Structure 1
């Protein structure tokens, strides 16, 4: 009986550790996504401001051949 309980405890510890690793990975992905969304939001804001200014004439960002 004791051996069975010890095996179960070990299995649960492994599951717990795997869950912690998965949570850490998801937290890192969430942080990356938040940073990406912040950059996109800033770009949208700049472009909207440019669109509202009738004197602003967009310039190409790359050279044309």
Structure 2
């Protein structure tokens, strides 16, 4: 009986170690994704501000278009 419990403890320790490694990996990926989303959000904000600024949108490609790039109505 004792040998069976020792094997089970060892198996559970291995599962715990594996789970901790997976969690650390996911945390790192989450951090990377948060940084990517922050950069994208910043780029969207800059572009929206440029679209709202008449002086910035004076080139021919953006003239007469709304934020989504559709022709103004």
Calculate the TM-score normalised by the size of structure 1. Answer: 0.86
8 Å CA contact 2:50–2:56 kept in 1: the answer is yes
Which structure features the higher share of helix residues?
A: 1
Higher relative contact order (CA 8 A, sep 6+): 2
Give matches, 1:50-65, under 5 Å: 50-57=50-57
Unaligned runs of 5+ in 1: 60-65
- Aligned twin of 1:43: 43
Q: Please give the per-residue CA displacement for 1:3-30, whole angstroms capped at 9, x wherever unaligned.
A: 0000000000000000000000000000
* SS in structure 2 at match of 1:26: helix
- Aligned twin of 1:13: 13
Calculate the TM-score normalised by the size of structure 2. Answer: 0.77
